[in-house]
């Protein structure tokens, strides 16, 4: 039996009002998703600076996902629209640099969508696992 030993490093930025609560709900409902996902709480998806995403890849992350409220439902009204636009630009630039589009994602998960959160994470981890390790932007100096 061949076991895939590769465990991707996934950074998930979740807005405090919807997606972080959605992640909590996934936990409350005991919905399983891989431990490779680590969540960073941000007030709103618009708080995610493209630099954070770059930093993650530089430090050896294999995938970065940004989760926010559904369009129109952002706690700060328009934050997720900014996030969507910024990330679209950033992701296409990353794609150009050789970070496959599948390694980056923006998803809308509401506070009531625990199941969607878990499903999204399962899917994302599976996709990134298939792609394998990300070496493109990794700064080897950061490796001890």
Partner 1 sequence: MQRIGVFVCHCGTNIAGTVDVKAVAEAMKYENGVVFSTDYQYMCSEAGQNIIKDAIKEHKLTGIVVCSCSPRMHEATFRKAAQSVGLNPYMVEIANIREQCSWIHKDMATGTEKAIILARTAVAKVHLNAPLTSGETPVVKRALVIGGGIAGIQTALDIADAGFPVDIVEKLPTIGGKMSQIDKTFPTLDCAACILTPKMVDAAQNENIKIYSYSEVSGVKGFVGNFEVTIKRKARFVDETKCTGCGLCTEKCPQKRVPNEFNLGMDQRRAIYIPFAQAVPKIATIDADYCTMLKTGKCGVCSKVCTAGAIDYTQKDEFITEKYGAIVVATGFNPIKLDKYDEYAYSQSKDVITSLEFERLTNAAGPTAGKLLRPSDGKHPHKIVFVQCVGSRDTRECGKSYCSKICCMYTAKHAMLTREKYPDTEVYVFYIDVRTPGKNFDEFYRRAVEEYGVHYIKGMVGKVIPEGDKLIVRASDLISNEQLTIDADLVVLAAAIEPDKTARPLATMLTASMDTNDFFTEAHPKLRPVESPTAGIFLSGACQGPKDIPETVAQASAAAAKVIGLLVKDKMKNNACVAHSDENMCNGCSNCAKVCAYNAISYVDKEFRMPDRTTRVRRVAVVNDAVCQGCGACTVTCPSGAMDLKGFSNKQIMAEVDAICK
68 binds, among partner 1, ligand FES, none (CB under 5 to 8 A by kind): ligand FES
Binding residues for partner 1, how many (CB under 8 A)?
54
- Which of 8, 22, 63, 79: binder of ligand FES (CB under 6 A)? 79
Is 90 a residue that touches partner 1 (CB under 8 A)? no
Q: Which residue has the tokens 């600076």?
A: 49
Closer residue to ligand FES, CB minimum distance, 46 or 121: 46
Our finding on whether 109 is near partner 1 (CB under 8 A) is no
Separation CA 55–CA 140 (nearest Å)? 13
Q: What are phi and psi of 18, to 5 degrees?
A: -115, -65
By C-beta, is 9 or 47 nearer to ligand FES? 47
Q: Does 128 bind partner 1 (CB under 8 A)?
A: no
Nearer to partner 1, 59 or 95 (CB): 59
125 binds partner 1 per the rule CB under 8 A: no
| Percentages of the chain per state (helix, strand, coil), in multiples of 5 | 45, 15, 40
Contact by Cβ (8 Å): 38, 10:
yes
**Binding residues for ligand FES (CB under 6 A):** 15, 17-18, 44-46, 68-69, 74-76, 79-80
């Amino acid at each position: 039996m061949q076991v895939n030993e590769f465990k991707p490093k996934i950074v998930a930025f979740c807005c405090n009002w919807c997606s972080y609560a959605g992640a909590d709900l996934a936990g409350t409902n005991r919905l399983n998703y891989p431990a490779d996902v680590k969540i960073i709480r941000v007030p709103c998806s618009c708080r995610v600076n493209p630099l954070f995403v770059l930093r993650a890849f530089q430090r050896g992350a294999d995938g970065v996902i940004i989760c926010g409220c559904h369009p129109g439902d952002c706690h700060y009204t328009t934050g997720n629209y900014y996030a969507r636009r910024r990330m679209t630009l950033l992701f296409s630039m990353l794609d150009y640099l050789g970070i496959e589009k599948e390694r980056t994602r923006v998803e809308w998960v509401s506070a009531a969508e625990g199941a969607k959160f878990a499903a999204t994470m399962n899917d994302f981890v599976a996709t990134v696992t298939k792609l394998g390790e990300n070496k493109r932007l990794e700064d080897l100096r950061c490796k001890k």
